[in-house]
Amino acid sequence: MAFEITDANFQEKVRDNKGVAVLDFWAEWCGPCRMISPIIDKLSTEYDGKALIGKVNVDDNSEIPVEFGVRSIPTILIFKGGQLVDKHVGLTTQAVLAQKIEAHLAA
């Protein structure tokens, strides 16, 4: 299960994270978000101990989406060393996300 990222724990879990963090911005009412959710959960298991895979509920947490200009969901943001390094908007496959994660883990 992906880690829940909130406005309150973002600094500690993402900004202060020296490694790779992948955030899925979603909402309960969003159909495409529900479609990508199992992919995010699988990635969280696959990359456990290698990368932080988290979810940000945009209805409950407004600061992070505003800071990073998230206007459409699902949006996937990838951070490395606390800095935004990649962004994907809309549905995608597990393979595409895994490839992006691997690239940032290797860099």
User: Starting at the edge strand that comes first in sequence, how are the strands of the sheet with 3-4 ordered?
Assistant: 3-4, 51-57, 20-26, 75-80, 83-89
Give me the catalytic one of 27, 30, 85, 98: 30
Per DSSP, the three-state class of 11 is: helix
30 is catalytic: yes
CA 87 to chain centre: 9
Catalytic residue among 33, 36, 56, 76: 33
| DSSP 8-state code for residue 13 | I
Active-site residue numbers? 30, 33
